[in-house]
């Protein structure tokens, strides 16, 4: 469950004015179920919204959350599932990794921060860094404080070292725990790199597009479906999509902000319209463009595009999808979305078996 999926539960609990404990992964090592930036909400009744350890430590987390409910102050926890003492401890995790968590009480008294700020940020399409001060005695940057920095904004009234840390998280494009000496004292800050969910554009609203939207929605992606036929571009046919639009290829850029699109799949089943949509995509920076159909059809389309074909070089994946032996529409949808995910994460989509242990070790 990512931040976007967590929000409906948060809104309901906030409306009921329930105090909550926000658990955030702030550091990992080795193989862990979730990485830095993953979050979970715990209620006073011990109900979880979200998942952090895949069941490895959630039971112990309830006891620690109750302590935070009682004290009102934040707490950090460290679970090392690599040590042989694991069996003695009795948790029997065997996950071969370690995770550090931050627990914070959020309630009406503190405006349900930082969840309220995150809720507002999710309505935008920009990137940002949320800095949470874990430990500090520095003026203006106390332990437990939060500092939000959108990528297109300056950091107001914050120390230079904190602004520098936010820039570092931006450059690395990942969340990180920063420990830094400032004026003879060590400060610890969690820099959470906030990024909007991937935006998938599906060009063609045939029946085979529906399972693609459903799988993308299950991963909490933004999904837009566009078709040149009014009778096909009907929102009721695609309840999992964020938007369903009727648009001729030449008007696509006026109907949709293409600069927010991360991946597109062209599946109109009409070679003329496929070509016309590809012409529109060629002038964008979309890094993944999947093309339904066999290789000869792809080559025919690219040949017809002339100079636009060069602009598409390295971005068109046709036949679209990973080689899963897919036959049914749902299987083909899995093949397509799996390839999109692999490309967005900079992976080839091959089997994990045989890869080095660090395949799971990235924070």
pLDDT of residue 208: 96
Report the phi/psi class of residue 77: left, alpha or beta, with left for phi > 0 and alpha for psi in -120 to 50: beta
Set out the domains of the chain in order of their start, with CATH numbers: 3-110 (no CATH), 124-194 (no CATH), 199-344 (3.40.50.720)
Token code pair at residue 180: 């830094």
Q: 263 Cβ partners below 8 Å, 6+ apart?
A: 198, 199, 200, 201, 286, 287, 288, 289, 290, 340, 343, 344
Q: Each residue of 67-89: b (16+ CB within 10 Å) or e?
A: ebbeeeebbebebbbbeeebeee
DSSP for 196-231, written as a single string: PPPEEEEE--STTHHHHHHHHHHTT-EEEEEES-TT
H or E segment and range at residue 313: none
pLDDT of residue 83: 57
Q: Mind listing the pLDDT tens digit of every residue in the chain (363 residues)?
A: 477 788 999 999 999 999 999 999 999 887 777 888 889 999 999 999 988 876 667 778 888 999 999 999 999 998 887 755 544 344 444 457 788 999 999 999 999 999 999 988 887 767 889 989 898 777 667 788 888 888 766 555 566 777 778 888 888 888 989 887 776 778 889 999 988 889 999 999 999 999 999 999 999 899 999 999 999 999 999 999 999 999 999 999 999 999 999 999 999 999 999 999 999 999 999 999 999 999 999 999 999 999 999 999 999 999 999 999 999 999 999 999 999 999 998 998 988 777 665 544 443
Contact between 107 and 94 under an 8 Å Cβ cutoff? The reply is no
Q: 251 Cβ partners below 8 Å, 6+ apart?
A: none
CA dihedral sign of residues 16, 241, 210, 264: negative
Token code pair at residue 250: 């030449």
Note the pLDDT tens digit of each residue in 315-363: 999 999 999 999 999 999 999 999 999 999 899 898 877 766 554 444 3
């Amino acid at each position: 469950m990512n931040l976007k999926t967590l929000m409906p539960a948060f809104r309901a609990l906030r409306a009921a004015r329930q105090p909550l404990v926000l658990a955030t992964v702030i550091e990992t090592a080795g193989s862990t179920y979730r990485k830095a930036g993953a979050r979970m909400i715990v209620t006073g009744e011990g109900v979880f919204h979200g998942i952090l350890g895949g069941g490895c430590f959630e039971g112990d987390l309830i006891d620690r959350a109750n302590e935070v409910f009682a004290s009102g102050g934040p707490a950090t926890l460290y679970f090392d599932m690599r040590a042989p003492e694991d069996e003695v401890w009795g948790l029997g995790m065997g996950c071969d990794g370690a995770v550090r968590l931050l627990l914070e009480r959020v309630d009406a008294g503190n405006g349900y921060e930082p969840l309220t700020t995150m809720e507002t940020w999710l309505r935008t399409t920009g990137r940002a860094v949320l800095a949470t001060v874990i430990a500090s005695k520095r003026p203006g940057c106390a332990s437990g404080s939060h500092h939000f920095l959108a990528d297109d904004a300056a950091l107001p009234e914050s120390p230079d070292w904190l602004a520098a840390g936010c820039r570092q998280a931006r450059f690395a494009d990942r969340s990180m725990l920063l420990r830094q000496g400032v004026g003879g004292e060590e400060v610890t800050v969690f820099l959470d790199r906030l990024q909007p969910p991937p935006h998938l554009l599906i060009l063609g609203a045939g029946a085979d597009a529906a399972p693609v939207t459903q799988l993308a929605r299950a991963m909490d992606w933004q999904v837009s479906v566009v078709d040149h036929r009014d009778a096909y571009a009907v929102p009721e046919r695609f309840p999992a999509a964020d938007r369903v639009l009727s648009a001729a290829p030449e008007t696509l850029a006026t109907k949709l902000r293409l600069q927010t699109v991360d991946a597109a799949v062209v599946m109109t089943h009409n070679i003329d319209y496929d070509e016309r949509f590809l012409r529109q995509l060629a002038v964008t920076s979309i890094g993944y463009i999947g093309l339904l159909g066999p290789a000869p059809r792809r080559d025919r389309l690219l040949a017809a595009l002339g100079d636009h074909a060069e602009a598409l070089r390295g971005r068109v994946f046709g036949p679209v999808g990973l080689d899963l032996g897919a036959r049914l529409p749902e299987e083909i949808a899995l093949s397509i979305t799996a390839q999109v995910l692999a490309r967005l994460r900079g992976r080839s989509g091959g089997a994990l078996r045989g890869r080095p242990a660090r395949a799971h070790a990235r924070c």
